[in-house]
Structure 1
Amino acid sequence: MTPDQVHYGQADEVYAARQKILDRAFQANPERFVKKPPEPPFKPIAAWIKPAIQRFQIQA
C-alpha cells in the first residue's frame, strides 16, 4: 500500500481488494498454493516518508 492510501484511510479497502484477488487465484489454481490459501501482507498502521528520529538520552 502506498503512504497516501494509509494516510487517507483507504488501507482496509485495498486490503479487502487484494484478498479478493488472492481468493480468485486460489480457486483457479489451488495446486500453486501448497500449505494454505494466500493472504495479503499485514496492513501498515502508519505511513512515513521520512520517519522521526528517536533521540536517546545518555545517562551519566
Structure 2
Amino acid sequence: MGYSVTVDTDKCVGCGECVDVCPVAVYEIKDGKSEPANSEECLGCESCIEVCEASAIVVEEN
C-alpha cells in the first residue's frame, strides 16, 4: 500500500523541516518551497505533518 503526498505551496514557507525529518527523503526544496519529489518512497509515518508549522502537508493512503 502506498501513500500520496501533497504540499500546499500557498501555505509552505520553505523552512525545510520536512526535508530534515523525513526518513526516506521524500521532500526537496525547489524555488523556496517544499516539493514531494519522491512521494513513492513515503512510509506514511507523518513525521513531516508533525513538524510542519504551516500545516501545508497532506499524506493520504492510496
TM-score w.r.t. structure 1 length?
0.25
* Greater per-residue strand proportion: 2
Larger Rg over CA atoms:
1
Scaled by the length of structure 2, the TM-score of the pair is: 0.25
